[in-house]
Chains A and B, each alone.
Chain A
């Protein structure tokens, strides 16, 4: 019996690239590496234009006490420019542009972890993970070292999130198949770090090969179990994952560690292992290149900072003109306005979607009150009522119907027959609630 949760939706999976092995993308001629690669304080550039850099050289750093981790050069070559530009997420990001010399030289600082992991404590492991610049690679990009430190001694269960419930994405699937030893090594290191005696590798049942492979690898392991999850969106949401595996419900605002759990993405685990094995920081990741416009959907191991267009080119270009480029999955991913938008540490996939796939945007967005959004909401909110409150400018109402608890999974908008962009309304509500709270705080301070 597969584990599952209540609510959610079944979506067409479009796992076009699941049979395609990971291919190594040659270093592109130029990479643009963002300093906003993680939640927390953006990294500060510590190289200058004209500097020679090698793979693994720190090019952006974060003060020790701040939340965040360093950013490394992903190719060897010359720093061409340091520039900033507005991205479609609505913030201005600073980029280090490196012109590759194609030599792929490694930085001297890249060397294997000297001691034995068995002697390392949470602090030490977190230190290595931090200096390797590892963040959550599933999407949120929370610095992994901070997660280790906050969970150390408190998490009785470590969950490896391999649900990969978003359509199209197959990067974790391929990592599980082709880098299973690295994933397991990373899991063991992280278990040691947080002191959890058990770990579950949670895989959706639409990936039987990955389940078989991991079950084989873990046959004689008494501490790590493979757990088969029912394929349903959003199974990879950490709240639904914890609920499905432990029956514990985590209210909005609570962290997994409050339920005794800590969750890492499969690719993150592999990155942790590599940071210990040969000291490689997070400079490459596996990205699924897919969508109905791409000629040959593939899984590519690419240097951080590679422009999306270079990935598409490697996959044979386009069979249809893309109308939308999405970083991440089609349900929660971020649409980009720049075809050269660079890969980041949390870019699990890049999708090139055509107008035919996207469908015509509806001219009238009218709620017919069918109730599908309420029935599907995994957080059990009232999406239709939140949207309605926002339309009426009733922000208090939006809060009462649960806007702040929304995880933006998109089940409501996906199934809305009236084609109301419910998630967008909820995001508006969240912004308004936050800014109003900030305003009332500042006016209270003035008094």
Chain B
């Protein structure tokens, strides 16, 4: 810079005392306001209605489990980043999203160490050891949930909606109803005793945050409206499950069976909030559709033929691993390329 060039631009510099230097950088010189943090806050807002419903029907213990899970996730994120000498990024709230999702995927009766162990697995093993946000290859909350299935009896202690568990002790001590979730009866080949409207509203047993289909859908619509997610994954995932279950019902009327299947278990929570996790899902439209269809097919296959009642977690984790290939498969045709190829043929 010329010596006296900045006479009129009396910049205070901000960086060093003598600096009256102008910034030079690559274009663009303006940026949208949306940040990783604002996106994570949007996801939390979208999850809250279904989670609050969970607290209402499953009791105050649901709130405690959520708090333990979120705080553990944030703490593990901070501690790991500190030890690994990475910038500590708790303030982007991504660990809080993982914590909330993990809690919503647990039954209300789990002992309190379960969310702590889950948070450790999700944040330390699945997320930070793979490089942190955006670099993990499988969804942290889902991987933690599947890891926690090692304590199978703790992870299946579902209670009926309305049987509020308010114990805040380490072990809930709740008298767990032996009655199966609607999904379990569907898998055994019978329509559940709950009505479809109970399923839709969330008057059923299940994990804390997965029961209310309508509130999860409302959250999904909010995310679509905020352009946080696109329609591709939820629609292709739920649509595939709907089509297969309609065509090959295991019990009762095709349409009823289909409705029970899509409102049962973790499908809504999984398809709207877990399968759409940025880091572990494709970012091309075509890739997203194939991924959603794959999730749907695997979910129904596990529900129909698997030994385990729920298929969504496994389906999403399996499809997570194919993300890179699906993005390359779904790479859009470049501007001008489509036309060129038509001319040549």
Q: Does B134 have its Cβ within 8 Å of any Cβ on chain A?
A: yes
Q: Does A186 have its Cβ within 8 Å of any Cβ on chain B?
A: no
Partner of B279, one of A249, A352, A368: A368
Partner of A309, one of B5, B282, B334: B5
CA distance A427 to B25 in the complex (A): 12
Identify which of residues 365-380 in chain A touch chain B, using a CB-to-CB cut-off of 8 Å.
366-371, 374-375, 378-380
Min CB distance, B2 to chain A, in Å?
6
Contact B334 A381 (CB under 8 A): yes
When C-beta atoms are compared, the residue in chain B nearest to A247 turns out to be B339
Q: Does B90 have its Cβ within 8 Å of any Cβ on chain A?
A: no
Q: Does A436 have its Cβ within 8 Å of any Cβ on chain B?
A: no
List, in ascending order, chain B residues with CB within 8 A of A249's CB: 335-339
Contact A355 B14 (CB under 8 A): yes
Min CB distance, A379 to chain B, in Å?
4
CA distance A65 to B58 in the complex (A): 83
CA distance A419 to B332 in the complex (A): 23
Q: A375-B285, A382-B284, A418-B36 are in contact. Are A413 and B87 (CB under 8 A)?
A: no
Contact B35 A419 (CB under 8 A): yes
B1-40 vs A, CB cutoff 8 Å, 1 = contact: the mask equals: 1100111111110100000011111111111101110110
Q: Does A287 have its Cβ within 8 Å of any Cβ on chain B?
A: no
Contact B334 A408 (CB under 8 A): no
Contact B32 A415 (CB under 8 A): yes
Min CB distance, B101 to chain A, in Å?
15
B157-172 vs A, CB cutoff 8 Å, 1 = contact: the mask equals: 0000000000000000
Contact B334 A405 (CB under 8 A): yes
List, in ascending order, chain B residues with CB within 8 A of A418's CB: 35-36, 134
Partner of A318, one of B8, B282, B332, B338: B8
Contact A312 B335 (CB under 8 A): no
Q: Does A88 have its Cβ within 8 Å of any Cβ on chain B?
A: yes
List, in ascending order, chain A residues with CB within 8 A of B278's CB: 368-371
List, in ascending order, chain B residues with CB within 8 A of A220's CB: none
When C-beta atoms are compared, the residue in chain A nearest to B8 turns out to be A309
CA distance A12 to B36 in the complex (A): 20
Q: Does A225 have its Cβ within 8 Å of any Cβ on chain B?
A: no
Q: Does A363 have its Cβ within 8 Å of any Cβ on chain B?
A: yes
Contact B283 A384 (CB under 8 A): yes
CA distance A214 to B74 in the complex (A): 59
CA distance A11 to B282 in the complex (A): 26
CA distance A252 to B335 in the complex (A): 8
Q: Does A127 have its Cβ within 8 Å of any Cβ on chain B?
A: no
List, in ascending order, chain B residues with CB within 8 A of A379's CB: 334-335
List, in ascending order, chain B residues with CB within 8 A of A351's CB: 29
Q: Does B111 have its Cβ within 8 Å of any Cβ on chain A?
A: no
B1, B8, B279, B281 pick with most chain A CB within 10 angstroms: B8
Q: A337-B24, A408-B27 are in contact. Are A312 and B334 (CB under 8 A)?
A: no
CA distance A351 to B28 in the complex (A): 13
Q: Does A167 have its Cβ within 8 Å of any Cβ on chain B?
A: yes
CA distance A378 to B334 in the complex (A): 9
Contact A325 B28 (CB under 8 A): no
Contact B336 A357 (CB under 8 A): no
Min CB distance, B8 to chain A, in Å?
5
Min CB distance, A271 to chain B, in Å?
25
Contact A353 B29 (CB under 8 A): yes
Contact A251 B134 (CB under 8 A): no
Min CB distance, B89 to chain A, in Å?
7
When C-beta atoms are compared, the residue in chain B nearest to A405 turns out to be B334
B260-295 vs A, CB cutoff 8 Å, 1 = contact: the mask equals: 000000000000000000110111110000000000
Min CB distance, B278 to chain A, in Å?
5
Identify which of residues 177-207 in chain B touch chain A, using a CB-to-CB cut-off of 8 Å.
none
List, in ascending order, chain B residues with CB within 8 A of A325's CB: 9, 22
Min CB distance, B26 to chain A, in Å?
4
Q: Does B85 have its Cβ within 8 Å of any Cβ on chain A?
A: no
Contact B334 A252 (CB under 8 A): yes
Q: Does A128 have its Cβ within 8 Å of any Cβ on chain B?
A: no
CA distance A88 to B343 in the complex (A): 42
Min CB distance, A368 to chain B, in Å?
4
> Can you show 28 pairs from A to B with CB atoms below 8 A apart?
A9-B32, A11-B32, A88-B24, A239-B335, A249-B338, A249-B339, A251-B339, A252-B336, A309-B5, A321-B9, A321-B12, A339-B6, A355-B14, A358-B23, A363-B87, A364-B89, A368-B94, A368-B133, A369-B134, A371-B283, A378-B335, A380-B332, A384-B283, A417-B35, A417-B38, A417-B39, A423-B26, A423-B28
Binding site for B on A (CB under 8 A): 9, 11-12, 88, 167, 239, 243, 248-252, 254, 309, 312-313, 317-318, 321-326, 330-340, 351-353, 355, 357-359, 361, 363-364, 366-371, 374-375, 378-382, 384-385, 401-402, 405, 408, 410, 413-419, 421, 423-424, 427
**Given pairs A359-B31, A382-B327, A384-B283, 15 additional interface contacts (CB within 8 A):** A167-B30, A249-B336, A317-B8, A318-B10, A322-B9, A324-B23, A339-B5, A368-B133, A368-B278, A380-B332, A382-B332, A405-B335, A410-B27, A418-B134, A423-B26
